Structure 1
Amino acid sequence: MGCVLGQHDETGKKEHAIYYLSKKFTDVETRYTMLERTCCALAWTAHRLRQYMLCHTTYLISKIDPIKYIFEKPALTGRIARWQVMLLEYDITYVTQKAIKGSALADYLANQPVDDYKSMQCEFPEENIMVLFEEYDDGKWTLLFDGASNIMGHGIGVVLISPKEKFIPITARLCFDCTNNMAEYEACAMGVLGALESKAKVLEVYGDSAIVINQLNQEWETRDKKLIHYFTYIKELSLEFDKITFHHVPREDNQLVDALATLSSMFKMNQNDEIPSIKMESRDYPAYCHVMEEETDGKPWYHDIKHYLINREYPPGILENEKRNLRWLSASFFVNENILYKRNHDMVLLRCVDVNEAKEILQDIHDGSYGIHMNGHAMSRKILRAGYYWLTLEKDCYNYVKKCYKCQIYADNIHAPPVPLNTLSVP
């Protein structure tokens, strides 16, 4: 018996089609009828490809229909009942085989079965597994280091990574004259000391300085008098570890500590001052979208643009850069009879609306008299075709659809189970 698994996406859904993995029948299974052998092959294939077939619709392409035989057989034997229970969790659709060339690969697999086949125990799979957990190597720490020297000063940066993936950043500014290689050695020494303070016994050191890594690995000879003392000091610290290794990485893979070293080299501070904590976040939308969507001053988001187009006056107290941005932004707007319009890419004029009007438009388009509860992308395109515009149009459409009660209640059910299904009864 052979099986071929394929995937196609013609109707917008991910679907799988199976013919028949290579399986060698046992002595008992060879005495089955042709239809029962096909059913056995289908059950064996579904068991092996379970992780693929659970989340998709599967088309069974075969000469005969084993699904109809299994589910319409009046007298169920032990094996037929077992196959029936196993196939209940899959969405399998039978398709009649038409082209002979489509099954050439499956026929080849059927003629070349494997010899290491073991009998399938499908009643309680993996019954000996009680709990799954992620195992950590408690003794393995990772150290990333880098040094920076520029016209502003010298700085070093270190990141210690614990066995549980906890990142510990360390940075310092060097207030004495040193070369770039000396800064690299200073960073490595500070990181090794930090690892000793964290009671690490196994340490992997990564740096982008080829000369430092190769000298510490004793592949290159250390001849510079300024670096010999650093080399001796780090080697003495290395004796405190059970195992320590040094590895070279490209600069592209060492960006985090490179940023720390550059920051410490350019940031001037007093002797007893501490660098304040820096919080980094990501933004998915331009800054003006977050500012314009809330009309806290009672004016619409397009007030400054409209005022500039009518009176050619800038808002009071703005900078020259903001004036230039306002002129650039106003070039795509047009005022007619005290109504502001936005020129689209195809030169169609779209009426600009404020927050209150935008909420009414969203409600009417999505769930009004002619609303069809469409998704966010389609609703934003329909609003543009209707001739309306505001800055946060597409984002507001997506957020409105997510909060629609009817869309959540009457949406299509997700057929994939939240947890893997297990057979509860044995035929």
Structure 2
Amino acid sequence: MRVKMELIYKSPKGNETTFISEEMLAGKALVLAEDIEKTGRMKDVTFIDPKENTWNLKELREFMKGIQTEPHNIKVYFDGGYNLETRTSGLGCVIYYEQNGKSYRLRKNAKVEELESNNEAEYAALHLGLQELEFLGVEHQTVEVIGDSKVVINQLTDEWPVLEEELSRWADRIEENMGEINITPEYKAVSRKENNEADRLASQALKGVEVSSKIEIN
């Protein structure tokens, strides 16, 4: 989760002023606030998440303690492929996350037949990743969403308009899913080479090779 920090600072002479920080990871904000608190000059602090929910220092401490037992520091890689001859799609997603002091990698793919284009397959692959996050119990998290589809990334960040009706439905579905589990996405477009794990999973799905695995990583 990312937050802004609104801090009321009181000088030794009793003068007060309010500072509002840039958005940062909640863990970093908590460390900074606790450090300033030690000076004795912090009168109050409020943390504001992207959905305008507010947290006091105690509430954020409790949240950060609890989050260690849940999946966090999450990265979702997605990729979709479409075979025009067979009119089938391969979906692939790779999820990296931490939980209870350990790091994990989850891989999942699927073969589907109801899609009509490669762009639809890309959206469906991201949707597959969101379903896996829901199965993991992820909520109230900032999630890095990574893919090589400029169409999906730029449409979901409102850089490009969504003109096709079927893609508009997918974009709405993605945003609805994220809202249901309170995910704040941070989108990142990468090259196909940087997305090779998800790309390989999508290709395997098109060949009928099913993959569903979770392993602990160093």
Same fold (TM over 0.5): yes
After superposition, residues 28-427 of structure 1 pair within 5 angstroms as 139-150=72-83, 151-152=85-86, 153-163=88-98, 164-200=102-138, 201-239=141-179, 240-267=181-208, 275=210
Q: 2:107, 2:211 within 8 Å by CA — same for their partners in 1?
A: no
Residue in 2 aligned with 1:321?
none
Deviations 1:86-135 (A, max 9, x none): xxxxxxxxxxxxxxxxxxxxxxxxxxxxxxxxxxxxxxxxxxxxxxxxxx
SS of the residue aligned with 1:142? strand
Residue in 2 aligned with 1:410?
none
CA–CA distance in 2 between the matches of 1:212 and 1:276? 24
CA–CA distance in 1 between the matches of 2:75 and 2:211? 25
Deviations 1:334-357 (A, max 9, x none): xxxxxxxxxxxxxxxxxxxxxxxx
CA–CA distance in 2 between the matches of 1:161 and 1:241? 18
Structure 1 position 177, deviation (Å): 4.0
Q: 1:158, 1:171 within 8 Å by CA — same for their partners in 2?
A: yes
Give the letter aligned to residue 149 of structure 1: Y
CA–CA distance in 1 between the matches of 2:194 and 2:103? 17
Give the letter aligned to residue 141 of structure 1: I
CA–CA distance in 2 between the matches of 1:244 and 1:138? 15
CA–CA distance in 1 between the matches of 2:206 and 2:109? 10
Deviations 1:208-261 (A, max 9, x none): 000100111111111101101101111112222252211101111011110110
1:218–1:177: structure 2 CA closer, same or farther, 3 Å change rule?
closer
SS of the residue aligned with 1:267? coil
SS of the residue aligned with 1:171? strand
Deviations 1:290-342 (A, max 9, x none): xxxxxxxxxxxxxxxxxxxxxxxxxxxxxxxxxxxxxxxxxxxxxxxxxxxxx
Q: 2:94, 2:106 within 8 Å by CA — same for their partners in 1?
A: yes
List alignment gaps of at least 5 residues for structure 2.
Answer: 1-67, 214-218
Bigger relative contact order, structure 1 or 2, given CA contacts below 8 A and separation 6+?
Answer: 2
CA–CA distance in 2 between the matches of 1:242 and 1:256? 23
Residue in 2 aligned with 1:287?
none
State the TM-score, normalizing by the size of structure 1: 0.30
CA–CA distance in 1 between the matches of 2:72 and 2:211? 31
Structure 1 position 199, deviation (Å): 2.1
Residue in 2 aligned with 1:272?
none
Identity %: 28
Q: 1:203, 1:241 within 8 Å by CA — same for their partners in 2?
A: no
| Greater C-alpha Rg | 1
SS of the residue aligned with 1:162? strand
State the TM-score, normalizing by the size of structure 2: 0.58
1:147–1:138: structure 2 CA closer, same or farther, 3 Å change rule?
closer
Structure 1 position 202, deviation (Å): 2.4
